[in-house]
């Protein structure tokens, strides 16, 4: 472990709370805390919590009473000496304690710097460090569960056997170059070929989980659009099970877009209720409709809400024409009304995907939620499937399979061992880059820049 300066950060969110946790990591952590306690002899037992009084270093004044935990290097998250102070969660107190520590010589931690130190000190590999970030950022239980599995080392433990198998192929090829004059015998070529196919399939299967994994992590943006009074806000509220948007029978009620996250089978869906679209002279309504257009442009999927109890209006037709080329589906709302069916989606509009729903009774809403995920082929995974959630991992897996493919091709044409080895070494390097053994410095800084401060 290298010696390092001592960093400090608030690890809990800024703002008022029951407690706020300040974290220190580095060689001088304990010294700084001794000064803060005005107790130079202070020698806490590692991994034990004690209640202590923190004092102002300049004035003889109590700052706070805090619970103090000391994690002695190397048995800590970062592998360095760590002290955690659980103070009362007043922003004023927390700021004063952090100021006092900075005054003593600590430095404010960069985003993810604690985790970066854990990585540098071999406390975890890169996939686990990324999982720490993903766990904190997870928006649904399913996303958190995937991140927790990756934190437990599942991704690296799936990659390791492939690396081991590659090395088992590389070693005899290397010695063949050294000791054997003759070409590889056909049986050996056939055997290596089969092994490479098996490994490629393995990595491809892992890479293919990214489609579902990305959705779980990044989610989808879905906009509800339609003419005024179609029932967009009612549907929005019903889907979120909350009276979030104002609903009235006055057309033009919603003036501004409103977004909330809805969890559909573990996929975080950012649902946006929009201002009804129609020809309007009202300048405020006009601005609202502009925002609707922006939400439409930004959405992965558009749900056009149509009042199914009214004949299609010119506004409905205009909206349907506008989304024709975009990924969309139609919710025929108000299926509870007797004259439901009045809106006929004529053959000319060729919109096949329409679902009867009722924002009032909730009928058809489960089907609507399924239909939202369907174009993305998501939500069919089993809970026990492990998913790739990072574009970086996906890209490197694809590159590794590409390298194995090219080795296989070279092998097939009975090329020399050193040519076959090129692809094998490339594949190994790409896999090592996933777990962090050979990840370039600039890629590392890019990854850690996406962390929050204090972790
Ligand atoms: N019977 C019935 N009435 C509904 C249903 N959905 C909405 N409504 C009614 O339709 C009217 C308009 O609903 P909203 O949800 O405000 O419609 P909107 O599309 O958001 O309208 P704007 O904000 O004006 O664009 C209200 O009176 C709702 O109670 C439904 O499924 N069945
Ligand atoms: Mg509305």
Q: What is the mean pLDDT of residues 261-276?
A: 95
- Over residues 98-120, the mean pLDDT reads 95
Among 229, 303, 339, 355, name the best residue to mutate to test ligand 1's pocket (greatest count of ligand atoms within 8 A of Cβ): 229
The residue extents of the domains of the chain are 7-123, 131-209+388-436, 221-376
Whole-angstrom distance, CA of residue 6 vs CA of residue 17: 26
Binding site membership of 281 for ligand 1 (Cβ less than 6 Å): no
Burial 109-142 (b: 16+ CB within 10 A, else e): bebbbbbbbbbbbebbbbbbbbbbbbbeebbbeb
Q: Is-contact 398 207, C-beta < 8 A?
A: yes
Instruction: Check whether 58 has a pLDDT greater than 90.
Output: no
The bound ligand whose nearest atom lies closest to the alpha carbon of 331 is: 1
* pLDDT tens figures, 189-232: 889 999 999 999 999 999 999 999 999 999 999 999 999 999 99
How remote is the CA of residue 227 from the centroid of ligand 2, in Å? Answer: 9
Beta carbon of 303 within 6 Å of any ligand 1 atom: no
pLDDT number for residue 348: 44
**Which CATH code fits 131-209+388-436?**
1.20.120.430
Q: Does the pLDDT of residue 48 top 50, yes or no?
A: yes
Domain 7-123 and domain 131-209+388-436, same fold? Reply is: no
Q: What is the mean pLDDT of residues 421-426?
A: 96
Q: At 384, is the pLDDT very low, low, confident or very high (cuts 50, 70, 90)? A: confident
Mean pLDDT estimate for the chain: 92
Q: Going along 56-212, which residue ranges are E strands?
A: 62-71, 82-88, 107-108
- Per-residue confidence at 3, pLDDT binned at 50, 70, 90? low
- Are 153 and 128 within 8 A, CB to CB? yes
pLDDT at residue 179, as a whole number: 72
Q: Which ligand is nearest to the CA of 368?
A: 1
Which pLDDT score is estimated for 382?
Answer: 63
Confidence band for 172, pLDDT divided at 50, 70 and 90: confident
Ligand 1 centre distance from Cα of residue 264 (Å):
23
Cα–Cα dist 369/218, whole Å: 17
Which whole number is the average pLDDT over 260-281?
94
- Residue (of 67, 71, 69, 77) closest to 18 by Cα position: 67
pLDDT-derived band at 141, boundaries 50, 70, 90: very high
253 pocket-lining for ligand 1 (C-beta < 6 Å)? yes
217: CA distance to ligand 2 center in Å?
29
- The residue-averaged pLDDT of 421-436 equals 95
| Predicted confidence band of residue 401 (pLDDT cuts 50, 70, 90) | very high
Say how many Å lie between the CA of residue 334 and the centre of ligand 1.
8
Distance 232 CA to ligand 1 centre (A): 7
Question: pLDDT for 310-362, tens place per residue?
Answer: 999 999 999 999 998 999 999 999 999 999 988 877 654 555 568 999 999 99
Q: Which of 224, 225, 230, 231 to mutate to test the pocket of ligand 1 (most atoms within 8 A of CB)?
A: 231
Read off the pLDDT of residues 67-102 as tens digits, 9 standing for 90 and up. 999 999 999 999 999 999 999 999 999 999 999 999
Q: Domain 221-376, CATH 2.40.110.10 — does that match? A: no
pLDDT at res. 184: 74
Provide the pLDDT for residue 343: 81
Q: Which residue's CA is minimally distant from atom 27 of ligand 1?
A: 249
Q: Identify the CATH assignment for 7-123 out of 3.30.1360.120, 1.10.240.10, 3.30.1540.20, 3.40.390.10.
A: 3.30.1360.120
Region 352-379: what's the mean pLDDT?
A: 89
């Amino acid at each position: 472990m290298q010696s390092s300066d001592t960093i400090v950060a608030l690890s809990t969110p800024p703002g008022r709370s029951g407690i706020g946790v300040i974290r220190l990591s580095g060689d001088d952590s304990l010294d700084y805390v001794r000064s803060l306690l005005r107790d130079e002899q202070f020698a806490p037992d590692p991994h034990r919590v004690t209640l202590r009084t923190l004092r102002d270093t300049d004035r003889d004044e109590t700052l706070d009473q805090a619970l103090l935990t000391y994690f002695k290097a190397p048995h800590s998250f970062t592998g360095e000496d760590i002290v955690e102070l659980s103070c009362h969660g007043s922003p004023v107190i927390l700021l004063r304690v952090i100021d006092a520590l900075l005054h003593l010589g600590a430095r404010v931690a960069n985003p993810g710097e604690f985790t970066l130190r854990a990585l540098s000190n071999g406390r975890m590999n890169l996939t686990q460090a990324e999982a720490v970030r993903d766990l904190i950022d997870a928006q649904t239980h399913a996303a958190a569960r995937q991140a927790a599995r990756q934190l437990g080392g599942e991704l690296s433990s799936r990659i390791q056997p492939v690396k081991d198998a590659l090395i088992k192929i590389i070693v005899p090829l290397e010695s063949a170059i050294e000791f054997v004059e003759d070409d590889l015998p056909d049986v050996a070529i056939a055997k290596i070929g089969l092994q490479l196919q098996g490994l490629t399939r393995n990595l491809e299967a892992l890479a293919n989980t990214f489609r579902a994994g990305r959705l779980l992590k990044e989610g989808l943006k879905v906009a509800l659009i339609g003419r005024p009074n179609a029932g967009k806000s009612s549907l929005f509220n019903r889907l979120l099970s909350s009276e979030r948007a104002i609903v009235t029978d006055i057309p033009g009620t919603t003036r501004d877009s409103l977004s909330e996250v809805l969890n559909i089978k573990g996929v975080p869906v950012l649902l946006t209720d929009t201002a009804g679209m129609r020809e309007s002279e009202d300048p405020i309504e006009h601005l609202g409709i502009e925002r609707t257009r922006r939400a439409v442009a930004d959405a992965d999927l558009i749900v056009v809400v149509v009042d199914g109890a009214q004949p299609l209006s010119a506004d409905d037709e205009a909206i349907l024409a506008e989304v024709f080329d975009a990924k969309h589906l139609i919710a025929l709302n108000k299926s509870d009304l007797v004259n439901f069916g009045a809106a006929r989606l004529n053959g000319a509009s060729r919109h096949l995907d329409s679902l009867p729903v009722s924002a009032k009774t909730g009928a058809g809403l489960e089907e609507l939620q399924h239909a939202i995920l369907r174009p993305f082929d998501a939500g069919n995974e089993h809970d026990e499937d492990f998913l790739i959630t990072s574009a970086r991992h996906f890209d490197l897996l694809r590159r590794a399979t590409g390298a194995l493919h090219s080795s296989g091709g070279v092998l097939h044409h009975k090329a020399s061992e050193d040519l076959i080895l090129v692809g094998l070494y490339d594949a190994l390097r790409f896999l090592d880059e996933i777990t962090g053994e050979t990840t370039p410095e600039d890629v590392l800084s890019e990854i850690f820049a996406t962390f929050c401060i204090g972790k």
